[in-house]
Amino acid sequence: MSAAGGGAAVPMLRVERLRKSFGGVAATADVSIDFPAGSLTAIIGPNGAGKTTFFNLVAGSIKPDSGRVVLDGEDIVGCSSADIAAKGIGRAFQVARLFASLSVEESLMAALMSPAGRSADMAHRFPLHETRQRAGVVMEQLGLQGKAATLSGNLSHGDQKLLDVALALVLEPKVLMLDEPTAGMGPEERHQMIETVHRLWREGGLTLVFIEHDMDIVFRIAETINVLSYGRLLARGTPDEIRNNPEVIEAYLGPQAEEHA
């Protein structure tokens, strides 16, 4: 998608001067970030920096006090979270949000057939055969095809996190947002999850944005890193630029970042 007059490409997702305060404290303060189509971007920062609030604002879970969120050229501020999901923003959560009493396959089919509470409309868009087929494709992408009949609530922690990603992915989003995809995982599960996430981005052409505290993961796979601190955008750059940024080292990474640079 190109800007009029042959200029620079319009970002798939653009956040402009986004502001949100709670009780007089700015959780997000004039944050502006562009996410180019097909990019892989990390959001990092200390606890309380405003990372999850930023995700909540973009996904429509909460409304900003001011600013714009523009998805593929359309301002989506004011849309419900369900409508934003239907427009093309998929989100997985730090704590997986699952249909515990449904099987993996049933969960994905339910997500396909009733986003935004419009089951009749979505059933028309995704007839039963196509719905099951799409669920099968996503299960294969996430390595869950062998657990199609397993109740979501009976999955291991790692597989529950994978299913949460699958639920975000099944509607073929333009932008996939992952909030700490490796949270609570052991070393092997973390490695498998991040390899899966990187493969999904590499093969699927997704615009992918993720929050992550493990800096080894961030520096290994992110193309661009945005650092939030006290609700403000402290820095933006490549992994090398962020690793060696004095303000970021002082506010978040600590002197060990310089030692491992």
Q: Which CATH number goes with the domain that contains 83? A: 3.40.50.300
Q: Is the pLDDT of residue 252 over 90?
A: no
Decide if 204 is inside a domain: yes
- Confidence class for position 48, pLDDT limits 50, 70, 90: confident
Decide if 24 is inside a domain: yes
Whole-structure pTM value:
0.86
Closest CA to 162 of 148, 109, 55: 148
Q: Measure CA 211 to chain center.
A: 8
Amino acid 85 reads: A
Q: What average pLDDT does the segment 232-244 reach?
A: 95
Handedness of CA 166, 167, 171, 174 (dihedral sign): negative
N-to-C CA span, the chain:
37
Decide if 97 is inside a domain: no
pLDDT of residue 251: 84
- Confidence class for position 4, pLDDT limits 50, 70, 90: very low
Decide if 257 is inside a domain: no
Q: What average pLDDT does the segment 90-96 reach?
A: 85
Overall number of domains in the chain: 1
pLDDT tens for residues 199-208?
999 988 899 9
What domain range includes position 62? 11-88+173-236
β-bridge mates for residue 15, sequence order: 33, 69
Decide if 162 is inside a domain: no
Decide if 18 is inside a domain: yes
- Strand 207-211 and strand 40-44: the pairing is parallel
Decide if 241 is inside a domain: no
Q: Is the pLDDT of residue 232 over 50?
A: yes
Decide if 95 is inside a domain: no
